Amino acid sequence: MVLGINIHRLLAPLDALVGAISSWADDASWRHRARRRPRHIVLIRHGESEANLDTSLHQSVADHRIALSDKGWEQAREAGAKLRREIAGNGRVVWYCSPLLRTRQTLQGLLEGGGWDASVEDVRQDPRLREQEWGNFQDPEEIRAAMSERHEYGHFYYRFPRGESGADCYDRCDSFVGSLRFCFGVLMD
């Protein structure tokens, strides 16, 4: 009490008003996200890459610059045609890919193969979707030694030199899924 005035009693209506406004804002935000929720979320991996054919590329080409092989382009176009049959005209689609060249090329092939317009609006790149990093310019001897050490240490927790562990990848992906939930509301039960 200050000067005979119960401050809590005086502020109670204001607290109730702030609570009501906050609740309304949360509800409005949820409704907005639910309206914007896509019918389909497509997470894009990649087709066959040049490094799938020649693993020595990892010694001289940065991982994010490795391109699709001709077969990888063909795989992407075929997948795009199949995906188009499954989801065309069935609500909003949001496309996600990593910034890796081969993944962006796969997205391009999917869109071409499915006959999607090049102006597809909901295409998003997210670096959390990239592959596990095994280190920069991978020396075959270092990789063999790391694989042996990984076997002894444990596959999930072993962190590759200048790379990351399976646990690191898990954390990235978990963060990505959390972002989907935040952006679009509850996605899965």
Give CA–CA dist 103/122, Å, rounded. 16
Q: Is 166 annotated as a binding residue?
A: no
CA-wise closest residue to 66 among 89, 93, 43, 47: 47
Q: Is 47 annotated as a binding residue?
A: yes
Cα Rg of the chain, angstroms:
24
CB 80 within 8 A of CB 116: yes
Q: Is 46 annotated as a binding residue?
A: yes
Q: Is 48 annotated as a binding residue?
A: yes
Residue 64: φ, ψ to 5°:
-70, -10
C-beta atoms surrounding 6 within 10 Å = 10
Catalytic residue among 131, 133, 152, 164: 131
Q: Is 104 annotated as a binding residue?
A: no
Q: Is 121 a catalytic residue?
A: no
Catalytic residue among 46, 74, 78, 112: 46
Query: Which DSSP state fits 121?
Result: S
Q: Is 46 a catalytic residue?
A: yes
Binding site membership for substrate: which residues? 45-52, 102
| Active site members | 46, 131
Binding site membership: which residues? 45-52, 102
